Every structure is written in structure tokens, then in C-alpha cells.
Amino acid sequence: MPDAAASDQLSTVFFALADPTRRSILGRLADGPASIGELAAPFQLTLATVSRHIALLERAGLVGKERNAQWRTVHLQAARLEEADAWLAPYRAFFEQRFDALETQLKSMKTTTEE
Amino acid sequence: MPDAAASDQLSTVFFALADPTRRSILGRLADGPASIGELAAPFQLTLATVSRHIALLERAGLVGKERNAQWRTVHLQAARLEEADAWLAPYRAFFEQRFDALETQLKSMKTTTEE
DNA sequence: CAAGCATTTACACAATCGCGTAATTACTCT
DNA sequence: AGAGTAATTACGCGATTGTGTAAATGCTTG
């Protein structure tokens, strides 16, 4: 990925989601804000490594960080997740009515914006 | 990514989605099957490169390939997309009712399976 | 100000990505 | 069989990832 940083927002978001640790961190964050240390606790990873995972999530706009004394309070920022969800939405027709006539779904897809 | 191949399914799917070319290919495929050459046409990329993008999509289980003479007919396989959608689903509460009390949403999240 | 905790950054390393070019592998048709 | 078309694979390249260890920041408290 020669220019992952220069890549579009959506790619950055999907890339951030392409890691179990990062998804797990987001899951934890859905319950409320937490410090880096708290977020790192469940994993067998160095604090430094988790810190970098969080930095990546931050660059993707999926979390925000505030400093509280010597702690960083990390919180979920779901807005960018919505973009990913929106991208996926048109494809829902393909699996929600899995056993229906596919042609109909294909037709409805054509009138929908994708990518 | 030391073991991207050994990574879990969901990560593989999200990773496949983390590229504009691949997302665009999936969009094209939503209109119906196509050959590698047809899929490559819209891009300023080598056929070889597009072929590899498609191979990656195939490894992610997002497309299927059949051989027809010297062509490969590629078609969308949306099932794996559903897994990605399912992962995103619990987070919808965070952006769908953006202006409502966040606490309520957090609470409802807690009873939901995530990751 | 010194000690200590929380987090980040610097450095190193093996693995992978995305890309092109060139060489193969398939299959068809004359 | 030979030529031509479609697609994959091999090779090389620069960039990036994920990871750990170790060094550096930052802030608080004794």
C-alpha cells in the first residue's frame, strides 16, 4: 500500500476494522471511554503496540483522545463507522432476501449509488 | 500484518474492502458477472494487477470465479459482506439517533454481542 | 526536585501490499 | 500445429504493517 495515508477515508476506516484487536477495542469503547492501559489489559500485547493500534483508530477518525493528567481518555467516534455502513447498505439486498429472485435485486441495485 | 492470511474471516473481508479499486469492482459485480478483462477496463491498472485484486477478493470469499473457455466469469458473493454488516449493526445505534441521549444507547449496546 | 506511573516514540525486523514488466499457462480457432 | 487471446504467476521494488524492546515524554506526588 504505497500511499495508505493518502488513501480515501472509507479505505482508512475499513482498514482500521481489518484487525481483531482494533475491533475488540471499539467494542470495549462502545461501553464507554477508557484509558489506554485499560484498553490494553485484555490483550497479550505490549502497551506500546496497543497504543499504536489506538493511534491508527484515531487517524481513521473512529476514536477520539483527550488527556486527563497523565492518562489519555479514549472514546468512540461512530460517525466514520456510518460511512462504512452506508457503503455496505446497497449490498444488503443480496443477503437479506437470499432466497428470492436475484434478478429483482440486481435491478434495484442499478438505481442505487455505490462506491 | 505478519499473518494476514491466518487472520480471521472478518478481518480478511474488511481488509478486502479497504481498497477503492476492490470496492469499485464489487460495485460493478453487483450489476452482474463479468470477466477479468471487463472488470479491469475502467482502471488505469495492468490486467495482472486487477487479476490479483480479484484473487484477493476471492480469498476473502467476496467473489466466485468460474472458467468459461479462456475467460473467468467473476460473480459477487455477498454472504461474507453480511458478516461485515452484522459486525457494524450494533454501532448503528450510535449514529442513527445521533441527537438522542447517548446513555440509553450505550445501555442497549451492552446487551448486544459485539466482536 | 526526584521518583514513579502512563503513554508515546525511536529503532529494528520479518511479512505483506500494490504495482509494473515479463514470462507462463490455458484455451480457441484457423 | 501455430497464432492469438485471456488470465495467472514469477520477480523486483519501495512502502507499510504489526510486533517487541528500549529510550523518551509528560504529568503527579512525595
- Which pLDDT score, from 0 to 100, does residue B109 have? 57
> What is the CB neighbour count within 10 angstroms for residue B96?
12
| pLDDT tens by residue, B51-103 | 999 999 999 999 999 998 878 999 999 999 999 999 999 999 988 765 555 55
Average pLDDT value for chain B: 85
The span from the CA of A60 to the CA of A81, in Å, is: 10
Whether A20 CB is under 7 Å from strand D: no
The span from the CA of B87 to the CA of B106, in Å, is: 16
Q: What radius of gyration, in Å, describes the C-alpha atoms of chain A?
A: 18
Helix axes A9-17, B20-29, angle to 10 degrees: 90
What is the length of chain B?
A: 115
Distance in Å, residue B67 CA to nucleotide D5 C1' = 15
Protein-contacted positions of strand C (CB under 7 Å): 4-10, 14-23, 26-28
> What is this structure's pTM?
0.84
The span from the CA of B12 to the CA of B78, in Å, is: 14
- Nearest partner of B112 among B93, B87, B83, B90, judged by Cα: B90
What backbone torsions phi and psi does residue B69 show, to the nearest 5 degrees? 55, -130
Question: Which 3 state secondary structure label does DSSP give B69?
Answer: coil
Name the CA dihedral angle for B96, B99, B100, B104, rounded to a multiple of 10 degrees.
70
A39 in B contact zone (CB under 8 Å) = no
The span from the CA of B89 to the CA of B99, in Å, is: 18
| pLDDT tens by residue, A3-16 | 333 579 999 999 99
The span from the CA of B41 to the CA of B31, in Å, is: 15
The span from the CA of B115 to the CA of B108, in Å, is: 16
Whether B25 CB is under 7 Å from strand D: no
Whether A55 CB is under 7 Å from strand D: no
